[in-house]
């Protein structure tokens, strides 16, 4: 059974894992984990004793060929990230592409992904949207923002807490201070919150109250 399983893991609340995900993680011969220490806690909680191997952005180029050979030999493997669905702003794309090129079946399970609840919670139009993930840190950032300023669909970004103020300031500059925005933080966790308002209002809020935790920003498209 030369198949790669893509298994979403909870983004906060452990109860969000699916029964099928637990079953697959118990039945495969190997689990590829972004951080084995983080994933080890998850596996221990659900009494999963499957062997793990580190697979992250710093080593995935080197490990892909060896993993492909294992899959070809009939070893079923699951890929997980620290939280959410692998390959969505996380490692996974290179391995999945290699599997497709080698005619190895890929089975992606449905499950937790941070941007979906953030989009729904935002109250902004969700019939059409674009997922941008993380903006470029330096090179290409200004060019990207100028391009996205013309986007008419709802736009979704991921951001780290220490960069949120800078990003919101850029939104005010390139999208306009009145552009409707929703910021979801710590989704599914104890201190989950969603703050909605204009770009200027959201910037003022987090300037006075520095954010913590994982962040999803949802921005209304240009009218």
72-86 per-position pLDDT tens digit: 999 999 999 999 999
Taking only Cα atoms into account, the Rg of the chain, rounded to an integer number of angstroms, comes to: 19
Fold of 3-108: Cobalt-precorrin-4 Transmethylase; domain 1 (3.40.1010)
Model pLDDT, residue 70 = 96
In the chain, where does the domain assigned CATH 3.40.1010.10 lie? 3-108
Q: Is the pTM of this model over 0.85?
A: yes
CA atoms 88, 91, 93, 96: torsion sign = negative
Model pLDDT, residue 1 = 59
d(Cα 51, Cα 74) in Å, to the nearest integer?
Answer: 16
In the chain, where does the domain assigned CATH 3.30.950.10 lie? 115-219
Model pLDDT, residue 209 = 95
Domain 115-219 belongs in CATH node 1.10.3720.10? no
d(Cα 213, Cα 195) in Å, to the nearest integer?
Answer: 14
Residues of the chain with pLDDT under 70: 1
CA dihedral of 199, 145, 11, 112, whole degrees rounded to 10: 110
CB within 8 Å of 98: residues ≥ 6 apart:
64, 65, 67, 68
Angle, helices 141-148/164-174, rounded to nearest 10 degrees: 50
Model pLDDT, residue 164 = 97
d(Cα 119, Cα 208) in Å, to the nearest integer?
Answer: 25
């Amino acid at each position: 059974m030369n198949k790669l399983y893509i298994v979403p893991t909870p983004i906060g609340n452990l109860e969000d894992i699916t029964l099928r995900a637990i079953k697959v993680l118990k039945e495969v011969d190997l689990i590829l984990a972004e951080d084995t220490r983080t994933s080890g806690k998850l596996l221990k909680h659900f009494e999963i004793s499957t062997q793990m191997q580190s697979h992250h952005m710093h080593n995935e180029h080197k490990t892909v060929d060896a993993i492909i050979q294992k899959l070809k030999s009939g070893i079923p493997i699951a890929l997980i990230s620290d939280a959410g669905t692998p390959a969505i702003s996380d490692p996974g794309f290179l391995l999945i592409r290699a599997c497709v090129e080698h005619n190895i079946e890929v089975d992606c399970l449905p499950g937790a992904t941070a941007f979906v609840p953030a989009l729904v919670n935002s109250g902004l139009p969700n019939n059409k949207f674009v997922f941008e993930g993380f903006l470029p840190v330096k090179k290409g950032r200004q060019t990207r923002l100028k391009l996205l300023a013309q986007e008419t669909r709802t736009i979704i970004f991921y951001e780290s807490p220490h960069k949120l103020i800078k990003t919101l300031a850029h939104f005010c500059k390139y999208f306009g201070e009145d552009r409707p925005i929703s910021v979801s933080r710590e989704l599914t966790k104890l201190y989950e919150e969603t703050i909605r308002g204009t770009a200027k209002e959201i910037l003022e809020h987090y300037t006075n109250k520095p954010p913590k935790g994982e962040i999803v920003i949802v921005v209304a498209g240009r009218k």
